[in-house]
């Protein structure tokens, strides 16, 4: 129902008035009974978002949606955490890579002025990453609480300064919840991992079973952090529900966070029906930067989620660290895989190797057997062998468990076609290694063509400086944007494969019920893991540039990214094929460059409202995102929205696009350089811009024109670069002809 217009001095009386107005409004549709309305409403959003969540019949919801004061009515949909269920810390890419330089960290005071909130599964407060040793008083602006109603062991401190839980939306589907749900404690591991990646304190000697040993630290290691638990045990595959997500956004804005990290999402839907889009708009309106994950539905096209232009959407890529474990066959051929297995086979000893498909149980299908699903393997055939399992469907670590239960001495996990060369290091329960799709084909061919095939597997090690890196993860969702094709998504990519970070003490490292081991740090993969890398970098930038708007920070991160790997070659996907901005957005994040981008593309909240007008939303619907009236501009052309990327999905002959650059650095003259998309000519006017003052703004026009009669049939990509020979302000150009 829009936004609230509270004054500066707000009391509980004001919130009660809002709640009463919701009861009165709904009551008018329930036979005039406010009591029925009170029973139906389980959330009144009273702080910043104006609306409520209620249990209603379909007919009642339809009637309410017709009221002129109501902007949108949508179902309490479920969303997923964006982890592949299999994590590393702020990455180990060297030189100009992901890890901020010591000078940047010191200049930004390790992000100590920032408060990073995390919508996730909560936090494990005992984790060393949340230690407050060396911290001063909690910032006076903080208005949050430590909500530990039924968990007296949950304590906040001067580092973990707040924690709340939201489960009323979840309860509408799960049924009545017992008191164990009334806590922000993380029993899953996901929330602790993501929050510590964004803002975890320094922890020496961090590792997973000895692998990746070093000092753990988040992107903003001295930031204060707050946990907002909105995700719970899955129901039909969904863990986080819209009603709870909106409630968390409403309270996080109230509490005073500077950054919100949101490693969850669902299918892209209309903005007015998207809880993350609505909640994040209200946050951005209050100067909060919202960072979201792109999703784990790759490599299929048009799968990217969290596509609103006011959020930073992050894809996932690898870093230059691996945990190699080799499989050597009886024919002396050797294949490199990865693993975090604790157990190992005797060095150099060969064991029989068989495919899981050949070891199927009598009642099982070959399909289930090759995937090493529960109950699909015949122990008589498996015992004493190295078992080759195929990746897909069931959890990678569960395949190892099934192999072990059937008597295998070790497992080779071969990628399926979709996974390509993407290899994820997992803490398997038996000696194991995961190998690429092509290597898997070779191993299976050897097994099937040899009378008595044998193999051995080496114990994993930690290897740094690997090439090529970064490579896009196969699971990372890609564009184009299905809601607004004119907006490139994702915006950026960051490390999201085998990320080591803090973990819960309530789960084993495989996150499977059979795993009784416990670890302080764990390795997990997903865009859930790449998202908080960027959130941590935002925390540094907020401390370094406190007056920058969320869009200026987004621009700084995007325009300073790089699209080449550490071999100075174009970035590749998991099949080692050159990839595109639909996978990596503007490129791989470079925090050291983002601190001094030179120029930024800035936007105000009114630009976003105009964008919604151009999307076809009327002025009543736009009230979902703001308070009070807003008049849509006329004419509307949101292709000129001042984004750091340029996307034209329907070029017919030619188009002219306007952008405005703001100087946030030293005075200088910037000249334009263009890498033309194939079959497209691009001209910039003027092609030189002189900036004399800080915050000075200058505009330019970019004309894109189809060359000749043979227009390209698919999307083509280029790049616009403004440079003063010190700064390089890069914008991806994405074009498709009609």
Catalytic amino acids? Answer: 120, 190, 528
Give CA–CA dist 8/19, Å, rounded.
19
- 570, 578 contact by CB (below 8 A): yes
Give CA–CA dist 722/444, Å, rounded.
51
324 burial via Cβ count (<10 Å: 0-12, 13-18, 19+): middle
Q: Cα angle vertex 359, ends 358, 361, to 5°? A: 125
- 156, 225 contact by CB (below 8 A): no
- Shortest CA distance to 320 belongs to which of 448, 470, 179? 470
276 burial via Cβ count (<10 Å: 0-12, 13-18, 19+): buried
Enumerate helices (H) and strands (E) in the chain, giving the number of each.
Answer: 17, 35
The conformation of residue 98, written as its DSSP 8-state character, comes to: S
Tell me if residue 165 falls in helix, strand or coil. strand
Give CA–CA dist 99/8, Å, rounded.
40
- 628, 5 contact by CB (below 8 A): yes
Q: Provide φ and ψ at 423, rounded to 5°.
A: -120, 130
Structure tokens at 429: 């329960």
301 burial via Cβ count (<10 Å: 0-12, 13-18, 19+): middle
Structure tokens at 16: 């009660």
> Cα dist. 569→363, 365, 573 in Å?
50, 44, 12
Structure tokens at 281: 């708009």
The conformation of residue 648, written as its DSSP 8-state character, comes to: E
Give CA–CA dist 129/504, Å, rounded.
11
Preceding amide of 686 cis, omega within 30: yes
Strand order in the sheet with 259-262: 160-165, 224-229, 115-120, 259-262, 289-293, 312-317, 492-495
> Cα dist. 41→30, 53, 357 in Å?
12, 6, 53
Structure tokens at 481: 């944007």
Q: What is the 3-state secondary structure (H, E, C) of 592-628?
A: HHHCCCCEECCCCHHHHHHHHHHCCCCCCHHHHHCCC
Give CA–CA dist 491/112, Å, rounded.
26
């Amino acid at each position: 129902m829009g936004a609230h217009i509270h004054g500066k001095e707000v009391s509980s009386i004001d919130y009660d008035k809002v709640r009463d107005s919701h009861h009165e409004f709904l009551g008018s549709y329930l036979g005039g009974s406010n009591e029925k309305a009170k029973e139906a409403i389980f959330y009144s959003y009273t702080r910043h978002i104006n609306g409520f969540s209620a249990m209603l019949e379909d007919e009642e919801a339809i009637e309410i949606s017709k009221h002129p004061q109501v902007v949108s009515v949508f179902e309490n949909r479920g969303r997923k955490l964006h982890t592949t269920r299999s994590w590393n810390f702020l990455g180990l890419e060297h030189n100009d890579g992901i890890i901020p330089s010591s000078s940047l960290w010191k200049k930004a005071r390790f992000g100590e002025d920032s408060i990073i909130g995390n919508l996730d599964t909560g936090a494990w407060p005992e984790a060393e990453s949340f230690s407050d040793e060396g911290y001063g008083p909690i910032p006076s602006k903080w208005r949050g609480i430590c909500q530990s109603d039924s968990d007296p062991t949950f304590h906040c401190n001067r580092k973990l300064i707040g924690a709340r839980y939201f489960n009323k939306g979840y309860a509408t589907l799960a049924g009545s919840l017992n008191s164990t749900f009334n806590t922000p404690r993380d029993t899953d591991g996901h929330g602790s991992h993501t929050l510590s990646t964004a803002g975890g304190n320094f922890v020496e000697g961090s590792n997973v079973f000895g692998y990746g040993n070093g000092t753990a630290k988040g992107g903003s290691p001295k930031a204060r952090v707050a946990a907002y638990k909105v995700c719970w045990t899955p129901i039909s595959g969904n863990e986080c529900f819209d009603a709870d997500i909106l409630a968390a956004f409403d309270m996080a804005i109230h509490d005073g966070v500077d950054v919100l990290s949101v490693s969850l999402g669902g299918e892209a839907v209309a903005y007015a029906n998207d809880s993350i889009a609505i909640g994040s708009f209200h946050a951005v309106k209050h100067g909060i930067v919202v960072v979201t994950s792109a999703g784990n539905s790759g490599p299929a096209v048009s799968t990217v989620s969290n596509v609103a232009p006011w959020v930073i959407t992050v894809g996932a890529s690898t870093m230059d660290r691996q945990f190699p474990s080799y499989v050597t066959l009886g024919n002396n051929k050797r294949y490199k895989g990865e693993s975090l297995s604790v157990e190992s086979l005797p060095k150099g000893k060969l064991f029989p190797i068989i495919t899981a498909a050949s070891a199927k149980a009598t009642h099982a299908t070959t399909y289930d057997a090759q995937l090493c699903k529960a109950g699909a393997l015949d122990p008589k055939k498996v015992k004493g062998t190295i078992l080759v399992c195929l990746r897909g469907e069931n959890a990678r670590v569960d395949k190892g468990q099934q192999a072990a239960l059937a008597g295998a001495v070790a497992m080779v996990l071969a990628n399926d076609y979709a996974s390509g060369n993407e290899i994820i290091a997992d803490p398997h329960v038996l000696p194991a290694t995961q190998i690429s799709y092509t290597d898997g084909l070779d191993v299976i061919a050897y097994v099937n063509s040899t009378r008595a095939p044998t193999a051995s597997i080496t114990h994993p090690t930690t290897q740094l400086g690997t090439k090529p890196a970064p490579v896009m993860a196969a699971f990372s969702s890609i564009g184009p944007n299905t809601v607004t094709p004119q907006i490139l998504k994702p915006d950026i990519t960051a490390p999201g494969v085998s990320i080591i970070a803090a973990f819960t003490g309530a789960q084993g490292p495989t996150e499977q019920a059979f795993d009784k081991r416990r670890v302080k740090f764990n390795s997990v993969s997903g865009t859930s893991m790449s998202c908080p890398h960027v959130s941590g970098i935002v925390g540094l930038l907020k401390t370094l540039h406190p007056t920058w708007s969320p869009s200026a920070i987004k621009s700084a991160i995007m325009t300073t990214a790089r699209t080449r790997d550490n071999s100075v070659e174009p970035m590749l996907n998991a099949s080692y094929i050159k990839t595109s901005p639909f996978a990596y957005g503007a490129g791989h994040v470079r925090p050291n460059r983002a601190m001094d981008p030179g120029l930024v593309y800035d936007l105000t909240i009114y630009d976003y409202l105009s964008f919604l007008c151009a999307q076809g939303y009327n002025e009543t619907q736009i009230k979902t995102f703001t308070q009070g009236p807003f008049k849509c501009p006329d004419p509307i052309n949101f292709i000129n929205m001042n984004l750091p990327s340029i996307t034209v999905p329907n070029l017919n002959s030619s188009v002219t696009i306007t952008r405005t650059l703001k100087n946030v650095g030293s005075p200088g003259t910037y000249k334009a350089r263009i890498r033309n998309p194939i079959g497209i000519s691009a001209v910039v006017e003027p092609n030189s811009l002189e900036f004399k003052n800080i915050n000075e703004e200058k505009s330019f026009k970019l004309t894109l024109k189809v060359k000749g009669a043979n227009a390209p049939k698919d999307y083509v990509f280029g790049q616009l670069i403004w440079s003063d020979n010190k700064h390089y302000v890069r914008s991806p150009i994405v074009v498709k002809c009609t």
